[in-house]
Amino acid sequence: MDHAVYVSGNSDPFPGHLQGYHIPRMRCYSILAEDGLHQSERNTDVTGFVHKGFSIDPKNKSLLFAIGLLVYLLTLAGNLVIIILIRVDQRLKAPMYFLLGNLSFVEICYKSTAVPKMLWDLLSGDKSISFIGCALQMYFFVTLGGTECVLLSAMAYDRYAAICHPLHYTLLMRQPIRGILLAVLWIIGNINSVVNTALIFSLDFCHSKEIDHFFCDIPPILHLSCSDVFLVKLMNFTISVGVIIVPFSLTLLSYILIASAVLKIHTARGRIKTFSTCASHLTVVSIFYGTIIYTYMRPSSNHSLEEDHLVSVLYGIITPLLNPLIYSFGNKEVQGAFWRALGKNRL
């Protein structure tokens, strides 16, 4: 039997134009209940999140912690050695090594935004992170990632200037230009991060507060939002094109011009020797750009959070470890500086 309530009288809570009509009582309660549920779900007063981390057997957490700590310490040591060698060795004063030293600094900071918290989560079991802490972690991670994208492009330009315009190299890469390049890449990285972080943390978070990742990255945070994220995803994609694809395209252009110049060298030995100066940088570019484009430029429908975990480990943890190894073992001048430093210490 349909229950109804007759609306009449000035004391009735319904608007005047509804008075005198029969309104289904159950429908009224349904509307109020749905509205209350909607308001309770749209909890914008978020105080924090929880990192889900890696899906591993609890017995293996100690092993993962030990491996993670070892990799982190090796990364810090390797990049610090490169920075110190460039600072103290007079033979490493070329623009190339100025940029390499900045890359090592970025890598140290880049890895330090996520790995220490991941290690603490494994050690203590406390995977919580405050709302502000999560926003700051994303801000620094995205800033450093965008900065590295532009820095790798600047390093490709440096190789282009050295190989294609060797007589004008010192002029093209003189100190004021290096300072401008350094300022521009940090400005681009910060603008990229400020816009993305502000957009994402202005959303409503009404699903689970558990981040399916080991740090606060863009895709897993967007996954938690109950707001309409279409415009945010569109803005994120647009910014990613400017910060990732444009530097990547300039890097490719530099290497196309380099390859064209190398092919004009008559002897095979000369071609190999010339292009070998780019081999280490090209290896780093391939790993970094490949993983970061895969993470941030894929359509959202194709995102697999488990795959994102693995890729994030590659570009956020493994790549910073490989960089000092690639640049030290693949560069005779860096090797020479290292042995000279050891020789001085022995003396």
Give the pLDDT confidence of 169-224 residue by residue, as tens digits: 989 899 899 999 999 999 999 999 999 999 999 888 876 688 888 888 888 888 88
Do residues 151 and 247 touch, judged by C-beta distance below 8 A?
no
Instruction: Compute CA distances 60 → 57, 119, 122, 123, whole Å.
Output: 5, 13, 10, 11
Give the contacts of 254 (CB within 8 A, at least 6 positions apart). 153, 156, 157, 159, 160
For the chain, the distance separating the N- and C-terminal CA atoms, rounded to the nearest angstrom, is 100
Are 28 and 52 members of one domain? no
Q: What is the pLDDT of residue 295?
A: 74
Are 297 and 319 members of one domain? yes
Are 34 and 52 members of one domain? no
pLDDT tens across 114-124, in order? 889 888 888 88
CA distance 121 to 56: 13
Are 9 and 77 members of one domain? no
Question: Which amino acid, residue 162?
Answer: A
Are 218 and 176 members of one domain? yes
Phi and psi (nearest 5°) for 150?
-70, -35
Are 168 and 139 members of one domain? yes
Are 195 and 237 members of one domain? yes
Number of DSSP helices (H) and strands (E) in the chain, helices first: 14, 5
CA distance 3 to 22: 9
CA distance 233 to 296: 10
Q: What is the pLDDT of residue 77?
A: 92
Q: What is the pLDDT of residue 6?
A: 43
Residue ranges of the chain with pLDDT lower than 70?
A: 1-46, 54-58, 207-208, 298-309, 314-316, 329-330, 344-347
* 3-state secondary structure at position 204: coil
Strand partners for 23: 5
Are 185 and 94 members of one domain? yes
Residue pointed to by tokens 């003396």: 347
Number of residues assigned to the chain: 347
Q: What is the pLDDT of residue 13?
A: 45
Give the contacts of 86 (CB within 8 A, at least 6 positions apart). 92, 97, 98, 100, 101, 337
Q: What is the pLDDT of residue 207?
A: 61
Are 104 and 20 members of one domain? no
Q: Which domain holds residue 153?
A: 47-346
Are 173 and 26 members of one domain? no
Cα 314–Cα 240–Cα 194 angle in degrees, nearest 5: 95
Do residues 4 and 25 touch, judged by C-beta distance below 8 A?
yes
pTM above 0.85, yes or no: no
Instruction: Compute CA distances 210 → 60, 146, 207, 341, whole Å.
Output: 21, 26, 9, 48
Are 61 and 28 members of one domain? no
Query: The domain spanning residue 142 has which CATH number?
Result: 1.20.1070.10
Overall number of domains in the chain: 2
Closest to 99 (Cα-Cα) out of 155, 146, 159, 176: 155
Strands 128-130 and 4-6: unpaired
